[in-house]
Structure 1
Amino acid sequence: MAFLQKMLILQLSVFSVILTTATPAVGQALPGCPDRCGDLLIPYPFGIAEGCHLGEEFFINCTTEVIGTSPTPYLAGTEIPVSNIFLDQGELQIMQFVARDCYDSQGYLDKKLSKVRILSLNPPFTISGTKNKFFAVGCDTYAIFEGYRGHERYITGCMSFCESLGSVNESCSGIGCCQTSIPTGLQNRTVKMNSYYNHAFIWDFNPCSYSFIVEDGQFEFSSKSFQELDRTSRLPMVLNWQIGNETCDEAQKKQGYACKGNSTCVNPINLSGYFCQCLPGYEGNPYLPDGCHDINECKNSNICSEGACVNFPGTYACVCPKGFEGDGRKAGTGCRKDNPMNPHQTSRLLIISLGMSVAFLFIMVGSSWTYLGVKKRKFIQLREKYFKENGGLLLQQKLANHEGAVQTTKIFTAEELEKATNNYHEDRVVGEGGFGTVYKGILADGKVVAIKKSKISAPSQSEQFVNEVIVLSQVNHRNVVRLLGCCFETPVPLLVYEFITNGTLFEHIHNNKGEKSPLPWELRLKIAAEIAGALAYLHSSISMPIIHRDVKATNVLIDDNYTAKVSDFGASRLVPLDQTQITTLVQGTLGYLDPEYFHSNQLTEKSDVYSFGVVLVELLTSKLALSFTRPEAERNLACFFERPTMKEVSMELEGMRISAKHPWGKTGFSPEDTEHLLGSPSFSHVRSDCGPNSATISAASVYESMRMEMLMAYDNGR
């Protein structure tokens, strides 16, 4: 027995030496190429000399700006300094400017200190939406972030206030500092800032506002941040990069495939192209031949509990000493005392010896086959894991409470939706909201659908996913987008809707693509009435009322018949009939968010009424919600919509439509007719506490403006 055990250890030791000598260490750059610029390691596919990078887009300009100082690496064709490169995630870190908006003691803009920052990137570089956050810092500050992905424009922002340095929290929660997420895949961005009072009341301790995109975790707000940002010009930001614009499956079939031996190909989420990673148990540069070399785990003296450690390609084994049995690993069963009376001990050692010999041959000739088999088993396990993480169990519980409300909702497989979207190719992206990206999909039967894919997999996202399924399963209205199915088998949740072909109301109002014709007045009135009708239905015509919570022009879709479809119910909430309001975290979009809900956290159906009022103003004026030039009118309009229910608003708008079609609609209204159409007293005046000019701006004047637009439309048409 002792002889067999010694032979086994000797055999494994020789095997370990063979493997160790067969895998020499490999550098990070191409052979013969420099691999450093200053203190930064430059790994291939990047390079700082001709012929040392994969393509011109991966060239790093290594420049010494001041004689006697270390050179600085810059991204190709830009003045953007690179501070780190991450091969295994397809990311790099840059140092980007902080934007400033400063005022003097008289409240005038200090143009010398104020800086608007614009960042423009060339393929394959885009701003990471998962690794960065957008911040605005200041006590009288609102900041707008605008970015583009191709020809698509995305806008977000936040605001922060404080009255004294002592009131500032040690966290970025809206008092002195605010933050928000940004979409993935943007190639450029512009940061704009402004101040409500030009820092007049807080100038002594905070004369400037600051805004910037920064790597998550690299900026922590405190009361000292105002002074620190005065001295800081750049902060780290993370960019994504990929090889080409093809998926892994497509790239592997062509010449120039970048992933080399002992590596695997990765398709990034919501981005085109691919990047490479070394297989588990290997390390190095996956873009170089033999760049991924085996990790010798046996160099770690603490990996085996006792006995000999033997290294294999991608793994290792521990052999227990004489008189002990087990796997020998500290993280496993370890080595335990063997039973000397065990008649099967000799046979067991023989089996181990033969097994290790077979394993040696198996690893040498079939390592790639083994990896594929392991990957397939992990894929099956991942499906079960994703089902739980994406809220499958939570959905089952809620379905039980709602008595199977989604019996007609189809459960799609991951393969069906992958094929329908051409592996989520960027050409299929039709929109992006607060909770995910929407793709155009074509199912196997030829049916065109819209597939909503969440940005990240997190508990809050899963809850919103389940919430939207539950909400939409109870809705059956011609002006609410219809849910067709969902999928739980993927890393992020997926929802499948009917496909609405004519874009969003935002695009039609603001004509931001230059492709949509302006909407005539009758059509605007029809769309407004349909949105109001859908919201009235959600509030008062189903078993448990639904508050949408994010009513805005981009969440209203328009079909080919110019019928409005209310969409995006990720933020919606069900309200029990015995409750008139619920307390919840404030959620919504800047410009459309109900001020009373924002300050009180008390959510009622009037929050949707306020947001609808903003959409109605956009329909009337064709202005962006954040660009109204008459704040007093906006406040009074908000008060105008504060009192009525959505059902009353819907009835008023339908009355206007009927009046417009009536033969006397173009001859003018009498005061009595106006009072009749306005209906309830709540529509005839505004509250006295709704702003300084409320007495001069009434609901009747707003209605009169709408009536004049309607009469002009009829006169022009006839």
Structure 2
Amino acid sequence: MVMTLVMQLMLLLLLPVTRVSAQEQQQPPQQVVRPSCRDKCGNITIPYPFGIGAGCFRNDGRGGFELECNDSRSTPRLTVAGNGIRITSLSIITSEARALLRATRRCYDSKGRITGRSGDTSVPLIGSHYLFSQARNRLVALGCSNLGYFVDAAGYYVSGCMAVCGPQHFIELGSCTGVACCQSTIPPAIDYYEPYVLDFTKEQTDKGIVSYSNSTTCRYVFLAETKWLTTTLTGKSEYLNRTNNFAVPVILDWAVRNVGNCSAAKRNTTDYACQSALSDCVDSKNGNGYQCNCSKGYEGNPYLQDGCRDIDECKRKEEQPCYGVCANTLGSHTCQCPPGTSGDATTKTGCRPKDNFTLALKVVTGVSVGVFLPLFMCFWLYLGLQKRKLIRTKQMFFELNGGLFLQQQISNYNGTSTGTGGFKIFSKEELEKATSNFAADRILGRGGHGIVYKGDLEDKTVVAIKKSKMTEEVPTKEFAREMFILSQINHKNVVKLLGCCLEVEVPMLVYEFVSNGTLYQYIHGSRGLDSDTGFHTCLRIAVESAEALAYMHSSASPPILHGDVKTANILLDDKLTAKVSDFGASKLAPTDEAQMATLVQGTCGYLDPEYLMTCRLTDKSDVYSFGVVLLELLTRKKALYFDGPEEDRSLVLCFMMAVKVGQHQDLLDSQVRDEMRIEALEEITHLVMRCLNMSGEERPTMKEVAERLEMLRRYHHHPWAQADANPEEEQSLLAME
């Protein structure tokens, strides 16, 4: 008992008091759609991945997420683009959509002849993100005698049931069990529905199929939501006697179905639908595909980057009862009894006043303090030893990562007349504070070499902090020398390296912050270039990127090879100025054969084939990768497509084959073909083909590429580009080798 009291006192002394400020409790309104997109059609909320209009819905090659709203009606009507299915509600929590489908109707006269029919259309969901819900729907045959069923796209029977006439009291007491109304379940993964009513002849009815006089004039077959069936249809004679058309609610299970499951989806981070860092992926229970849910303790839209927000459980006492002091925390909450009481604060009478401090308790407390004090001192001694160990570990990593050498280089550089250089060695605590301890909401992006966080330094400077996943076994002095040389790169189109942190196992790098995303996002993502200035802007970005690489190859001392040139590593600022980034694979130009041998690094689709065969990175390897970037800008297509035919997966291979047969202009983006003259198109095609040459020696230098692109950019802006050009002056602008 004494030890128990001692441990309780230790916990009370060491337990931090957490308070949630009013500012922390306030959150912006819940985001359900992409910015500038419509979020409602009438009173129906339209959450992303669904959307109305270009750029507002998830477009992964399968139909269903694009919706249309007819506002011309008195009550706006929401339908699925392409097949016209009417939607009455959408849920991203249950991954369900409620739709209205017309019942199939057949009406007969006293001689068994058809007098009216409607609702014979099929409902195809093939190739879309929808499937009919097996758990939430039933097939219903209404009226008697009636055999209702439906078939799949190949015409095969899927499900059905038969309703016959019976005494009235069976109809009133039954639950659609076969007397005038029957129901049946449907199989899973149904993506096609074509209903039928089997017509009975008068001879068949005379033989006993219809043995009562209360047969119905009209008979129906339809899919219906199970809840609607039990609450609306069952036991109501007005439905049995009706002769008009009516619509029935049906539940559709939706999921992201362009891949089979979560495991496959997570391998393609570009197309991965669960954008929120606070979300989880769940395999679809009906057919192939997956769905996204906010993590436990969070709610919102997991398909948007910042869509999942913390739930304030203290404001939801019906779900999380707390009769004491409630404090909200990220993803959870705490509920404690008020001061002076103890017990279970989650029950209404769980908190009770604490007992008086009796003499026995005083004795126990005195003994406990006598035991606790030595333990407390040992604890503080342990903390002091751990702190000293941590300091020694930081110093060890600092020295192993070349910190002493780098300090010396910075000191020597600062002592020269050229200035301070601005490069700084940061402490681990500085970067933790700048990123809120590397919080998930600070993540700017993830790459093959690590995670990039947004940071706010004490002087209000906004930076990008790269926390690497792995490290190469590079000599200490060589790594520090490379970091110092990279910090001296001073070019308007190169992301500036501001500093590093060396007191961790894998050094962290601090770069200037570039605010407007990547070139990849502007070519293939949701941002999109403006249609009026798109190609001109792309051409300018290409010139700026080429000049940055040419500077690194030709003007830096020693020359620097990037090693991973791609559109995702070209950042754009608020004026869409290009900034070459991510030197995770960069190397100083090798000085001998031994230095040139290395493991192949880079990105598939951009890798120099000669580099793949020889494992030797050269400046011409960057030229090849830049050629792929140019090809992306001209075609607006991705470097690799894994979903298409095998021969069409490589953009480079497709383009080279098209050039051979003279059909390469068909691959170019329509805006490029419209805005550029044929001479300029042929010139830039020639330049791309030279960059993509299998032999590195045959490729141009980055300096020559930059000059050629600048010449093309000037030609594109020249007045002769908008009218008939003077051939001699045009030749001066497009001088070819």
TM-score of the superposition, structure 1-length normalised? 0.45
Mark the structure with the bigger radius of gyration. 2
